[in-house]
Structure 1
Amino acid sequence: MNLVFFGTPPFARDILMELHKQYDILATITQPDKPFGRKKILKMSAVKEYAISVNIECFQPIKSYEIKDILHNIETKHKTKIDAVVVVAYGKILNKEVVENYFCINLHGSLLPYYRGASPVQNSIIDDYQHFGLSVIRMDNGLDSGEILESYALHKDIVYKQTINQVFTTLVPYGKDILCKVLEDFTLNRLCPTPQNHELATYCSKLEKKDAYLDLEDSKACYLRYLALNNIGTWIRYNEETLKINTLVGYDNRSEHKQKGEILEIQKDKILIACKKGELWAESFTPPNKSKMNAISFLQSCKLKVGDILE
């Protein structure tokens, strides 16, 4: 079976690696290289890195209208028909001509129609949503609105206390399995599409650095936001600057405090920080313009002690 794979981040790369073991990947299509870090050095996507490493051709269209010609050229070069276009976290909506002329399927990180949009897994974690899972849809011209071809519900405990990168690693085998099931059913002409109930649809947008701010109001909410967004870098305000919290190792949500941000306790490798409701255990920080340091080194560098305020 001849596939063209669309995807960008490490999760998409890991799915691609699994599919590559079973199918012919004619080419990959990913986002253009983007500037990274203080020096704004161009960095290629995880999908492109893998494609280059295994000698799979990789395209990076700037405009969506370019994709139709790219797919046509792939078929011409390989002298074969593209059987399916597989999309996993590509980051752009495919245009109408592509969706209508190819069998395009998308692996989405929620049980649709809930959490349509760019960051379904992260938003599910932040919302403490109980119905966790994956869906494969036949793509249409809408935003994650196509017919459901396969879905898989996961018990939330499977990803309990995992950070977002760990969650995506956990999801890879499940995502691979339902994609392979759909591709097999397509080959055998036994797909059973199920229309989504659009009245039940909920939406989520792409999450950015501003969304990773921990307001220290509710410790559970802060901890869930940390789990969902620690790859972006969760942070608080300290001395009118951004203080990045690299590692939270737990929370307690039972008590209330008048002063959020107060350092309540210091142990040998972590500190306890007050929220309005509950507390957070923090293990490492990155102060402004400095390298990552453990909690105790951070306290020493700032001359902080129990009773002082991080706010």
Structure 2
Amino acid sequence: MRMRIVFMGTPDFAVPTLSEIVGRGHDVAAVYTRAPAPAGRRGLDLTPSPVHQVAERFGLKVLTPRSLRGEEAAAEFRGHGADVAVVVAYGLILPPAILQVPALGCLNLHGSLLPRWRGAAPIQRAIMAGDRETGVAVMQMEAGLDTGPVGLVERIPIGPDMTAGDLHDRMMVLGADLMARALAALERGGLGFTPQPEEGVVYAAKIEKGETRIDWSQPASAVHDRIRGLSPFPGAWFPLGPDEARVKVLRSTRAEGTGAPGEALDDRLTIACGSGAVRLLELQKAGKQPMGADAFLRGNSVPSGTRLP
């Protein structure tokens, strides 16, 4: 049978799950997403979220409340008559008055192996910490932050040079399939949930601006993990030249060599760290397109012996 679903999501990460739900023939009663955000150089244009745009192409009802608190919001939510709510990177807190409405609960797709990396930035934090494995999980939502019992999990290895962008793109596809399987099991009454263990809880705090500047005095492993964990956004960066223009590093790899932290060890952007070295593979200057190291060096001089601050 078809399930009646309220879908709640906002960014690109949520789009494949919405598309999969529609493709499986479920009845999407409404799509909740964040309100259109200012865009353009002057911020005068309002741009609908990726989920908003896709939902409209499917002809679905779209709602963009600023908050879900209050009886009016709860009454509107009850009016959809949903069997279940599916939540993927929505961006607003669901109060108890909303969580208790669907008969089969609210399912959340979360990008980590819970209880490790609960919170706002699980993809980035897993890579920045040097984790070798992560995953996507379908969780039954409750009032706590990502504390609910887990129904299904798909594990994902993290390659040594994998960036947050690479992992994001793989997760959102695997996650869509995982949620579709969870809904199918829920229809059959066969989706069981396991409480999260109390041990191993780690929180994935939001990325702060102060974390994005590269500290070459750190070990090469930590520098490399920070670069790839912050790529492509917001991007780990270093200042270059007399004007100290910011240069984002989007891809790197571990390299051989030793030297003073920040020292260019050759003419190919191999940079010494506190221990070991990294080679910078893809960079981006402000207002420019990303480019490989060779293309970057044709317009920017970083000869052997240069000390990056």
Q: TM-score, normalised by structure 2?
A: 0.86
| Residue 71 in structure 1 maps to residue 89 in structure 2 | no
Aligned equivalent of 1:278: 276
Q: RMSD in angstroms over aligned alpha carbons?
A: 2.5
Q: For 2:254, what is the secondary structure of its paired residue?
A: strand
Q: Residues of 1 paired with 2:251 and 2:157: CA distance?
A: 23
Contact kept, 8 Å, 1:243 with 1:285, in 2: the verdict is: no
**Is the 1:64–1:94 Cα contact (8 Å) retained in structure 2?**
yes
**Distance in 2, Cα, partners of 1:300 & 1:181:** 50
Q: Counterpart of 2:46 in structure 1: which amino acid?
A: L
Distance 1:146 1:290, change over 3 A: closer
- C-alpha distance 148-34 of structure 1, shift in aligned 2 (>3 A): same
Q: 1:87: which partner in 2?
A: 87
Once residues 293 and 197 of structure 1 are traced to their aligned partners in structure 2, the CA distance between those partners, rounded to angstroms, is 44
Residue 144 to residue 304, structure 1, CA distance change in 2 (3 Å) = closer
Deviation at 1:139, TM superposition (A): 0.7
1:180: how far off?
A: 2.2
Question: Which string of whole-angstrom CA distances, capped at 9 and with x for unpartnered residues, describes residues 117-139 of structure 1?
Answer: 01112111111123411211111
Query: Is the 8 Å Cα contact of residues 257 and 265 (structure 2) preserved in structure 1?
Result: no
Choose 290-299 or 103-112, whichever is displaced more. 290-299
1:229-288 deviation line (CA, Å, top 9, x unaligned): 112122113357452224324222x54322x22222224xxx222222222222443345
Report the secondary structure of 1:35's partner residue: strand
SS at match of 1:214: coil
Q: Deviations over 1:184-207 (max 9, x none)?
A: 222222232211223432211122
Q: What is the CA distance between 1:296 and its match in structure 2?
A: 5.0
Residue 17 of structure 1: CA displacement? 1.5
**Given that residues 130 and 156 in structure 1 are in contact (C-alpha distance below 8 angstroms), is that contact kept between their aligned partners in structure 2?**
yes
1:17-72 per-residue CA deviation (whole Å, 9 max, x = no partner) reads: 22221122222111222234643243322111211222222211111216424423
Aligned pair 1:226/2:224, yes or no?
no
Q: Distance in 2 between matches of 1:156 and 1:105?
A: 25
Distance 1:7 1:205 in 2: 20
The answer on 1:169 being equivalent to 2:202 is no
- Relative to 1, partners in 2 of residues 1:130 and 1:304: Cα closer, same or farther, differing over 3 Å? closer
Residue 57, structure 1, aligned to residue 61, structure 2: yes
- The reply on whether 1:215 has 2:215 as its aligned counterpart is yes
Within 5 Å, give how 1:28-177 maps onto structure 2: 28-36=31-39, 38-40=41-43, 41-65=45-69, 67-73=73-79, 75=80, 81-102=81-102, 103-157=105-159, 160-177=160-177
Counterpart amino acid of 1:125? I
- 2:12: which partner in 1? 10
Give TM-score, length-normalised by structure 1: 0.85
Q: Distance in 2 between matches of 1:130 and 1:287?
A: 30
SS in 2 for 1:247: strand
* Counterpart Cα distance in 2 of 1:21 and 1:249: 38
Pick the structure with more helix per residue.
1
Alpha carbons of 1:67 and 1:121: their partners in 2 closer, same or farther (altered >3 Å)?
farther
Name the SS for the 1:198 alignment partner. coil
Unpaired segments of 5 or more residues in structure 2? none
Change in 2 beyond 3 A, CA 1:182/1:44 = same
CA distance in structure 1 between the aligned counterparts of 2:282 and 2:133, rounded to whole angstroms: 31
Find the aligned partners of 2:170 and 2:291 in 1 and give their Cα distance: 28
CA distance in 1, matches of 2:243, 2:221: 24
Counterpart residue number, 1:309? 307
User: 1:284 touches 1:294 (CA, 8 Å); kept in 2?
Assistant: yes
Instruction: Tell me, yes or no, if the aligned pair for 1:91 and 1:118 is still in contact at 8 Å.
Output: no
1:190 matched to 2:190: yes
For 1:308, what is the secondary structure of its paired residue? Answer: coil
Alpha-carbon spacing, 1:121–1:288, altered in 2? closer, same or farther (3 Å): closer
Distance 1:276 1:155 in 2: 27
Once the two structures are TM-superposed, the CA of residue 94 in structure 1 deviates from its matched residue by: 0.6
Q: Shift in Å at residue 301 of structure 1? A: 4.5
Aligned residues: 298
Distance in 1 (CA, whole Å) between partners of 2:281 and 2:39 is: 26
SS in 2 for 1:307: coil
Q: Is the 8 A contact 1:87 1:107 kept in 2?
A: yes
Identity of aligned residues (%): 29
Q: 1:296 to 1:52 in 2, by over 3 A?
A: same
